[in-house]
Amino acid sequence: MIPKTHKSRKSSRYSGERGTSLQILHSTMKWLHIEQIAAKLWDTYSALLSHQAMILAMNSSFVDPLIQFESQLSIIESTFKMLCSIPTLDTVKDMGKNEDDKEDLELLYRTIFNLFEDTLLMLVYKDLYKLQILKEMITWMNQESSFLQERAMTIISRVLSFASRKVKGYTSVDAPCLGVLAAELSLLCTHSDPSITQQASLGMYHLLCIAKCQNADTVKTANAKNERYMENSLPIPPAGIEYLPKILQQDKTKIAQNIGQALLPGLLTDFVWSLLIKIPLPNVTTAYEAAILLTLTLEYYAQKITMVSKIMDEIYKQLQENSSPSMKQVLLWLITLLTRTSPKKVIFHLMDYSVPANSTLILMWQAAGLESQVAPQVLKTILLILKGKPGEKHKIMVQRRRLSVDSVNMMPVAASQALSTLLPLKSYKKAVAQFFPQLLMALLLQQFYSSEVKLLTKNTVCYAQEALRTLLTCSGLQEVDSALKKKNCWSQFSQTLFHHHSVYLIAKTLSEHKFPQFPETLRYLYKLSVEDPRRSEDMVITIIFLTELLNNFFKDPFPEEFLSLFRNWVNDPNPAVCKLSLQKIATMAPVINETENVCNLLFSIIDAFFSKDNNVVIRALLTLRRLLIKLDKTTYSSLCSRIASSYYPLMDHSNAGIRSMAIRHFGELLQDMSHHTRVLNDLVIDSLVPLILFLEDTEKRVFQLVSHKQYITELLSDALGYLRSSRAYLRRASIILVGYFTKLSGHLLLKDEIEVISEAIDRELQDEDPVIVGLAKKTQAILQDITNRMTSSNIKQCFQRIFNTFYIKRLKPLYYYNLTCDLNISSMKDSEFNSKKADEEVENEDISE
């Protein structure tokens, strides 16, 4: 008789008690006579022995692990196909001629399967990673007859049982295939064959026990409630498996809950992915079971899913492939479940598809917006996306597979289109009211960018405008939308020249209809202006909108909180922001004396005189003058010196129009202060030389400038300073002015002072301009004549003390310098400037009106 070496398997362990190679060889010698009876069975047995030897040899080699696994998997698959080719046990028994033959044939039959099982145990014992082979076995198994399915499930269950015993006490386990294997087993737990269901449930139990050992430290720190749930949901069964069917057999909810609880996020993601790709399979039963398990898992544990983007792409693909209506509903519900726990990931991914969105994407948006509890998070994410500028190139070039323009950001356009879908949903009514100000301003900015987007997408539809109109309608502002349509606002907004005017119209129309969202909108605009660093063009729109709201709801002057904003914007780096702020401040002239911190306001305007943008300087001059006309005289006189000194640098400005305006405004300031002689004297003397040099005047009225000795040296010093000017006409005028001063008051000057003046004029003899050289020679002659007729210093000093208050010379013209050419050029520059200024003022008035 054949020795029964494989009959008592339950009491043995793999570590050497399940039969050695010598025992197998001994059995083989006794079964030689069966080769004549069942050649097919004998060939399978011989092949299994050979395959097992090859696998053991690979386990002991230093082959690359991946190549080793692939080779061993190929051998196992070949072996499995051999098992599929042998007949059933009853057929094998019928081949025996007597009872002994039948017993030997049955033993050989069982030994073949045990040998296959032993091979799997050897692989798993060496490396738990090779549990992946069991997943492949289930795939092969599903293609075979039911009798082999049951046998294969028994082997899989036993291998998992061995692995679960092996990992007891481990602090971590490297078994990355558990998620995929759990997906296969979960489908078999609801199999129509009770025997397969029983073995699959037992295998699932052992798999979950292995999963508990993976990263045990992480599991221990999990939520205590979930930990207790895990312990209660997976009780260790008594001697048999009678208790397991109540937990894992045919109960899909329990299966989903236990798997979701036990698997780590990465493995649970694999589980979900494996079920998802089974939904479009031709086998309707498998697809239906996978859909149910997938839905139940995400109901409870969607927050553990890590590869949301990959899952979303697969859902989109399946929706595109003409899924049945029922399966489409399942797929859309999966999006709803993912949005419930990962709204930011889902929304960002949905916005990353091509623009404009197709009907499938719109369905996915609707699914994402189905639940009201996540609406605020969804809108927050969309608002974050709307901060981007459509068409902007990414600073870091990332692979973006779905964008219509690969290297640019089109997500804001997609977000605008999505809002047209989401805002009308009933589930979003409360969230829309909560985020009305943020949505309003974000869409206004996106509307501003729409012209550039049309060029990129070649699409005439402005989704930002559609979303903005939808927002108004959903917020109870239908009358505002209708009024704007009558004012042609929507049609004008698409034209670049009317962008700012359209923003103004929207703010004005909202104000006219007393929109109830005004308080929260104003608060948001203030927060936006103070805290949120944005693009300069964004600030322009914000200021236009805020200014119009304030004009309609507040009387001038504005509250200090808002006035401080305009005060700060006067010196903003963006010239457009500066001009808008100055324009608004100018309108507050009638109430300037009621304004808080009026001095700070005026000083901020004066600071704008140093702007590099000439238009800002001009606007600042006009604004300051408009305020000074209405300013209280007491305050005016206290600030007069500071204001007057701010005009001096502008008198030497490179722009002729600014020079002209500065002098004109300075003259008006002198008229304003005509009754404050103490202040007036100092102002006149400080500005005298710049005024004379700018006018280049040689008429007799120049003579009336000198009346006191204490001013002579200051005037000469200022005149000599302009000899260093880069402009030739100023150097010419300075030389002429020095000549007249010295001729007029030479009898009042000391010899040392004449020498200093002479040295300065000498340097001009080297000037490149021949006219300047000629004027310098004439001035030197005047200085030489004064020097020759000088008396001693002591005598002159006495003479000065006597006559310095009343003796002034009268002179005829000295130079006869023709200034016609220079004056004509200056006149032309002034004319061009005045024309440009007039055009600008008309444009600004159009905006304000």
- Cα 276 to Cα 589: distance, rounded to the nearest angstrom: 70
Contacts of 732 (CB under 8 A, 6+ apart): 696, 769, 771, 772, 775, 817
Summarised one tens digit per residue, pLDDT across range 96-146 is 667 776 777 778 888 888 888 888 898 888 888 889 899 988 888 887 665
Q: pLDDT-based confidence at 401, cuts 50/70/90?
A: very low
What amino acid occupies position 779? Answer: T
pLDDT of residue 69: 84
The 8-class DSSP code of residue 64 comes to -
Instruction: Judge contact between 540 and 576, C-beta under 8 A.
Output: yes
Sign of CA dihedral 711, 717, 720, 725: negative
Contacts of 441 (CB under 8 A, 6+ apart): 524, 525, 528, 541, 542, 545
Read out DSSP for 597-617? THHHHHHHHHHGGG-S-HHHH
Read out DSSP for 473-524? HHTT-HHHHHHHHHTTHHHHHTSGGGHHHHHHHHHHHHHHTT-TTHHHHHHH
> Is residue 839 scored above 90 in pLDDT?
no
- Cα 396 to Cα 263: distance, rounded to the nearest angstrom: 36
User: What is the pLDDT averaged over residues 262-277?
Assistant: 94
Instruction: Judge contact between 412 and 390, C-beta under 8 A.
Output: yes
> Is residue 235 scored above 60 in pLDDT?
no
> Is residue 396 scored above 50 in pLDDT?
no
Mean pLDDT across the chain: 78
Give me the percent of the chain exceeding a pLDDT of 90. 31
> Is residue 617 scored above 90 in pLDDT?
yes
Q: pLDDT-based confidence at 376, cuts 50/70/90?
A: very high
Q: CA nearest 297: which of 323, 333, 344, 326? A: 333
- Cα 102 to Cα 94: distance, rounded to the nearest angstrom: 7
Residue with tokens 């339950």: 10
Summarised one tens digit per residue, pLDDT across range 300-337 is 999 999 999 999 999 999 999 877 888 999 999 999 99
pLDDT of residue 50: 84
The 8-class DSSP code of residue 558 comes to P
Beta bridge partners, 408, equal 393
172 compared with 287, residue with greater pLDDT: 287
What amino acid occupies position 338? Answer: L
Judge residue 767's burial from the number of C-beta atoms within 10 Å of its C-beta, 0-12 exposed, 13-18 middle, 19 or more buried: middle
Instruction: Judge contact between 4 and 103, C-beta under 8 A.
Output: no
> Is residue 59 scored above 90 in pLDDT?
no
Residue with tokens 């994410």: 381
pLDDT of residue 831: 42
Instruction: Judge contact between 757 and 763, C-beta under 8 A.
Output: no
pLDDT of residue 65: 79
pLDDT of residue 23: 52
- State the Rg of the chain over Cα: 47
> Is residue 584 scored above 70 in pLDDT?
yes
What amino acid occupies position 227? Answer: E
Read out DSSP for 32-76? GGGGGT-HHHHHHHHHHHHHHHHHHHHHTS---HHHHHHHHHHHH
- Record the tokens describing residue 564, joined without a space: 């401080």
Q: Which helix (H) or strand (E) holds 541?
A: helix 536-553
Sign of CA dihedral 639, 643, 646, 648: negative
Three state DSSP letters for 376-429? HHHHHHHHHHHCCCCCCECCCCCCCCCCCCCCECCHHHHHHHHHHHHCCCHHHH
Q: CA nearest 838: which of 628, 630, 652, 615? A: 615
